[in-house]
Amino acid sequence: MSKAANATKPARGPIGGPRAPRKPSNLWATVLRIAQYMRDDKWILFVVFVSIIVSSLANVIGISFLQVIIDDYLEPLINQPNSELMGGFVSVIFLIGWIYLIGAISTYVFNRLMVGVSTRTLYKIRIDLFQKMEALPIKYYDTHTHGDLMSLYTNDIDTMRQVLSNSVTSFITSFITVISVFIMMLVFSWQLTILVLVMLVVMLLVVKKVGGKSANYFIKQQQELGQVNGYIEEMIEGQKVVKVFSRQKRVLQDFEELNEQLRVSATWANTFANILMPIMINLSYVLYAITAMVGGVLTIMGALSLGTVIAFLQYTRTFSMPITQISQQLNAVLTALAGAERVFKVIDEKPELDEGYITMVPVVMNGDGTVNESNERTGHFAWKEVQDNGSAVLTIVRGNVVFEDVTFGYEKDKTVLNNVSLYAKPGQKIAFVGSTGAGKTTITNLINRFYDVPSGNISIDGIEINKIKKSDLRQALSMVLQDTHLFTGTVKENIRYGRLNATDEEVVAAAKLANADTFIRHLDHGYDTVLKSDGGNLSQGQRQLLAIARAAIAETPILILDEATSSIDTRTEALIQKGMDRLMEGKTSFIIAHRLSTVRSANAIMVLEHGEIIERGDHDQLIEQRGKYYQLSAGMFELS
Amino acid sequence: MIRKLLAFLGEYKRQTILTPIMVTGEVALELMIPFLMARIVDYGILGDGGMGYTIRVGLLMILMAVLALVFGGLSGKYAAEAGMGFAKNIRSGLFKQIQTYSFANVDKFSTATLVTRLTTDITNTQNSFMMVVRMAVRAPIMLIGATIMAVSINPQLSLIFLAAIPVLSISLYLIGKSAHPRFLDMLEKYDGLNEKVQDFIVNIRVVKAFVREQHEEKKFIADAEKVRDAQLRAEKLVILNMPIMQFTIYTSIIAIIWFGGNMVIAGTFNIGELSSFIMYILQVLISLMLISMVFIMLIISRASFSRIIEALEEEPVLNDKDSDVNLTLQDGSITFKNVNFSYNDDPNNLVLKNINFTVESGQTIGIIGGTGSSKTTLVQLIPRLYDALNGEVIVGGHHVRDYKLKTLRDQVAMVLQKNVLFTGTIKENLKWGNEQATDEEVIEAAQAAQAHDFIMAFPNGYETELGQGGVNVSGGQKQRLTIARALLKKPKVVILDDSTSAVDTATDAAIRQVFAEKLNDVTTLIIAQRITSVADADKIIVIDDGEVNGFGSHEELIKTNEIYREIYESQSKGVNDNE
């Protein structure tokens, strides 16, 4: 994991900042990491490697026979029939045939195997990335835009796909071809090989120069593309606002500016990338021409045979083609590696820590107040702490929540909660009211440990919550959140999300509890209506009703309702009140609402302001106090 | 389809035409090189040309190669200019088209697909365009040129071409044809996977709160497997190209050596020509390969092309072509006459039914009704975000269709329920309402919306940078900013669509007070959940299931309207008991 620590180092702004596509900063480390994913396929890779060698050698050796054919058969045979030589010619042709056949088969073998390896590798990387993303803390999601995270899948892994399935084998093929051709060249004629080497140096210099320029502009292009795409995303997202404000012209103007900027840098980047290939191809023709001339002169001088020159000429073509290919694909490969690096960076992010060891288990309550662990759902739970000696201590989950001097801020020097202390006895309803930004939602973020408390202490049933395994802690809570998002899937599936093994009847019962049954039945396919992820086909209020049903079906000892009914009109709210009461029955409930009618029946109401509890008590007491709460409720009624 | 896109070449037509011309020059020169090589071998070395001839022809070859390099370089440059210019124009064109969309158009496409069209699809189009202008010209010219050269050297031996070309082209065609649907399938699976990820990211709090990581992972793995298998199915076909190509080339080379060799032995053919022949057949077959690559690329990008064109061809549902440029709103009066509305223009699926009411200029109107009772739909007809199916919507003395959209919407400020702030400072965001607004005007609007105090509490005040979507302000603060933004327009009509739902009651009351005192000449429509938000309005419209159920003042409605009374009671219960 030391490598991981390095990879996460680059500083990031508080809100993620624009994506900065760049050159891979640690090229070989990234290549090695990709290779790690192929470990299971190492024998296949070995066969791939061997096949590539066979295929490249077949090509190279095939050409070398040109020299033999010309010098040993054709030239001597011209106008001088000789059946023995003729027989030799035939058998050489057959030999070449065999070599080529083996070459073509090897080509198929390595390509086919490599497709398998690359698809499997991508599959593994995708899953690895997803698993890591699951483990990331909420904070990560709060500080990175969704677009950034999405583009890991849509851009970065996709470029990796293109490179893995095309470029890897052609890289190796090119490499092996270059080396073996070089050896053959030396065997044929060292004089001509020197020529080739000189030309090679020139070509490499060109690649370096042009390629370098291209890479620089590519980085610029990627940055500007990021800006353009960011702007597009934002403006399309806010398209309705643009129209309401008739801002189309201005928005278009700004867009044109960014777009033109992108065009300029993209043109430069692609110009250099585009001219690289013709330059390489034609330099290789220059090399070919020089070789033909010098080789011709040498042959006339008698220093070389004609067959050698002709075979050598073929080699100069075979030699430069792979180099062209490599230079052509270099950009794609670098882009893919940069993408891979971004993917790995997320994989290396510090996952949500969970040092908790206490679990929650279903229990059977015995008459005498003791409990026994059960394997089935019983409706009762206990916290289970395994002692050093192996015995387990069971504490019944009652929902006794205590905050002691909790101070918290999302950023270091900005506290959102100050010395908050509160307790909720089992089965109580605790409500939080206060102006927006007073810290109400933060409290719920702390109870379920979306964020950890740096100072102070939160406990449930006398157990500090950081000793409880996060998954178990969260399973003890069900939440209805302020922003209700649903999943792509049917209504039924969305409700069942609260408890995956719930039966259809239980789903309907939960929907009825949340007063959602009626509108669900009015949907085209009732409970089987497919919802889109942004829930476009439902109103905000209807989505909240589904979220309440989802929480209801979870049957947890603690319930958190964060503005759960804010988009539901009060008439409907009154209708679901009974259901809500039943939902909260016997559960410790935390209710956040700005609507006082929602919180009135709470056992205790906390009035929050600037992260501090300024008043607490039940409704009557608070009204009596004539404090902030009284003002709030009075403010509400001085108008009627 | 392609022609439609090509219209976007615009000022880059010159480069687009120059590119293939340069490519042609490059190819012509390249074709000459093996021919000259054959002359060196057959006349310079084996014939009586000798050293001098060899060097002369050699130098000519070098010159040609250098010239080809220049042509090639230029073609690359022009291709880049044309390709990037083309992409820029399409991007602008599409973006511009989307700006003309009405709400109904945006609803139809959904924002996610519009973004993909503007980003990924255009990148695909740009890449295939560059490839086409270079390869699609180069390959056929090379193919024809090399064939001509080969035939002119030895017509008999060229028969090998006749065999090799069809074999290769037919197999490449067959592979491409059967790979196409598999690639489409792969892309579809890919979309499915991305949708899952998107779902996951948006819902991360729900996933974590319900500890459903394993569940999500299972779904994801199932989809990842589908992608993997689809990719394998598609790519294992395409990789057949390489070995088939090699096989054809190798067979041709052997055939040329055998038949050509026999001709050499018989004295009817020269060794130099034989080896140039091999060069030509290589060039021919490689060209075929390139053509098939271009083909596959085009097929894959076709989905992108048609997606772009679909969005380009989408006609805005609303337009103001027949409207009067000089017409302005006389005042803030609003009249609905027998208005029906349906989102899909289906008279049997009406969302608003026979709406009739009149609002006088300067009045404050509350709109109240249950979840899904079409309150939002009703007010969206006023700034003409949608058109009524039938009936008349009259604002400021004229039918909404008679105004230029900009005129109407500048005068009717609507604060949307799902509202958005943009990257930039608070001030920049507020100035959306009026770009020319002075700092004083901005502050005044912020004060009216009760936003000034919290803005000033930020260390940078009005210069505070808002992240995308306004992530660093709370829901209530965001709502107040969007109200201030709308007020800066100095409109005749203001519509607040549940715009204070996240604002606490005291602030809500303060905002309403400002509206009542300072903005008393502005017609104000307030959609709200809370009775208190509308109780002091001049009139209140009670909407139920798309119909006006009641219209009157608070006192009247309390007496006469059952729904209104129920809502009132549901909210007043509690505090009243204590008084």
Whether residues A245 and B477 touch (CB distance < 8 A) is answered with no
Q: Which residues of B touch A135 (CB under 8 A)?
A: 213
Task: For residues B338 and B288, state if they share a domain.
Answer: no
Task: For residues B134 and B259, state if they share a domain.
Answer: yes
Instruction: Quote the DSSP letter at residue A436.
Output: T
Label residue A411 exposed, middle or buried (CB < 10 Å: 0-12, 13-18, 19+).
exposed
Is B329 part of a structural domain of the chain?
no
Sign of the CA dihedral running B462, B464, B467, B473 = negative
Task: For residues B283 and B354, state if they share a domain.
Answer: no
Query: HSE of A6 in the Cβ direction (CA atoms, 13 Å)?
Result: 8
Q: What pTM was computed for the model?
A: 0.76
Range of the domain at B38: 2-313
Sign of the CA dihedral running B194, B195, B199, B200 = negative
Rounded Cα gap, residues B417 and A207, in angstroms = 56
Task: For residues B11 and B63, state if they share a domain.
Answer: yes
* Selection from B54, B66, B82, B1 nearest residue B29 by Cα: B66
Is B472 part of a structural domain of the chain?
yes
What pLDDT score was predicted for residue B470?
59
Sign of the CA dihedral running A368, A373, A374, A379 = positive
Rounded Cα gap, residues B66 and B68, in angstroms = 5
Residue matched to tokens 């404000």: A245
- Sequence-distant (6+) residues with CB within 8 A of A78 are B264, B265, B267
Whether residues A278 and B71 touch (CB distance < 8 A) is answered with yes
Distance from CA of B553 to the nearest CA of A (A): 12
Distance from CA of B391 to the nearest CA of A (A): 23
Please calculate the CA angle B4-B6-B10 and round it to the nearest 5 degrees: 120
What pLDDT digit, counting tens, does each position of A167-183 carry? 888 888 888 888 899 89
Task: For residues B165 and B51, state if they share a domain.
Answer: yes
Task: For residues B306 and B452, state if they share a domain.
Answer: no
CA distances from A491 to A275, A486, A497, A546 (A): 56, 9, 10, 8
Is B577 part of a structural domain of the chain?
no
* Selection from A611, A615, A621, A589 nearest residue A405 by Cα: A611
Task: For residues B360 and B249, state if they share a domain.
Answer: no
Looking at the complex, does the CB of residue B91 fall below 8 Å from at least one CB of chain A? yes
Is B471 part of a structural domain of the chain?
yes
Q: How many domains does chain B have?
A: 2
Beta strand A359-365 pairing with A381-386: antiparallel
Alpha-helix residue ranges (DSSP H) falling in A301-357: 306-347
Q: Which of B313, B346, B364 is the last residue in one of the domains?
A: B313
Whether residues B212 and A81 touch (CB distance < 8 A) is answered with no
Judged against a pLDDT cut of 80, whether residue A576 lies above it is answered with no
Whether residues B575 and A79 touch (CB distance < 8 A) is answered with no
CA distances from A448 to A269, A355, A469, A550 (A): 49, 15, 11, 17
Nearest to A275 among B73, B231, B554 (CB): B73
Task: For residues B272 and B338, state if they share a domain.
Answer: no
Distance from CA of B286 to the nearest CA of A (A): 12
Domains and CATH numbers, chain A: 2-347 (1.20.1560.10), 359-396 (no CATH), 401-476+556-637 (3.40.50.300), 484-548 (no CATH)
Query: Angle, nearest 10°, between helix axes A157-188 and A306-347?
Result: 150
Rounded Cα gap, residues A552 and A583, in angstroms = 6
Is B105 part of a structural domain of the chain?
yes
Distance from CA of B207 to the nearest CA of A (A): 9
Q: Which of B255, B278, B313 is the last residue in one of the domains?
A: B313
Task: For residues B127 and B169, state if they share a domain.
Answer: yes
Exposure pattern of B194-220 as b/e (b: 16+ CB <10 Å)?
bebbbbbbbbbbbbbbbbbbeebbebb
Whether residues A572 and B371 touch (CB distance < 8 A) is answered with yes
Q: Which of B278, B313, B348 is the last residue in one of the domains?
A: B313
Alpha-helix residue ranges (DSSP H) falling in A390-456: 440-447
Is B164 part of a structural domain of the chain?
yes
CB-CB contact of B579 with A624 (8 Å): no
> How many Cβ pairs within 8 Å bridge chains A and B?
507
Distance from CA of B258 to the nearest CA of A (A): 7
Please calculate the CA angle B506-B417-A441 and round it to the nearest 5 degrees: 55
ipTM greater than 0.85, yes or no? no
Phi, psi of A565 (to 5 degrees): -120, 20
At A492, list the tokens: 């039924």
Q: What string of pLDDT tens digits covers the 579 residues of chain B?
A: 677 888 888 889 999 899 989 999 999 998 988 889 888 888 888 888 888 898 899 899 999 999 999 999 999 999 999 999 999 999 999 999 988 888 888 877 777 778 878 887 888 888 888 888 878 888 888 889 998 998 988 898 988 888 888 888 898 889 888 888 888 888 788 878 888 888 888 788 888 888 888 888 998 999 999 999 998 998 888 888 888 988 888 899 899 989 998 898 888 888 888 888 888 888 887 888 778 778 777 776 777 888 888 888 888 888 888 788 888 888 989 999 999 998 877 787 788 999 999 999 999 999 988 766 788 889 999 999 889 998 999 999 899 989 988 889 889 988 887 777 888 889 988 988 888 889 999 999 999 999 999 899 888 889 988 865 555 677 778 889 999 999 988 899 999 988 887 777 778 888 888 888 888 889 999 998 778 788 888 999 999 888 899 999 999 998 999 888 888 877 765 444 433
Q: Which residues of A touch B437 (CB under 8 A)?
A: none
At A497, list the tokens: 């999300």
Is B322 part of a structural domain of the chain?
no
Looking at the complex, does the CB of residue B54 fall below 8 Å from at least one CB of chain A? yes
Task: For residues B309 and B360, state if they share a domain.
Answer: no
Whether residues B578 and A620 touch (CB distance < 8 A) is answered with yes
Beta strand B390-395 pairing with B398-399: antiparallel
H-helix or E-strand spanning residue A607: strand A604-609
User: Minimum mean pLDDT among A34-43, A507-516, B39-48: which range?
Assistant: B39-48
What pLDDT score was predicted for residue A3?
33
* Selection from B567, B560, B493, B562 nearest residue B533 by Cα: B567
CB-CB contact of B219 with B164 (8 Å): no
Amino acid letter, A473: L
How many of the other CB atoms lie within 10 Å of CB of B165? 19
Task: For residues B347 and B304, state if they share a domain.
Answer: no
At A400, list the tokens: 């006794």
CATH number, domain at B517? 3.40.50.300
CATH number, domain at B151? 1.20.1560.10
Task: For residues B298 and B391, state if they share a domain.
Answer: no
Judged against a pLDDT cut of 70, whether residue A636 lies above it is answered with no
Is B526 part of a structural domain of the chain?
yes
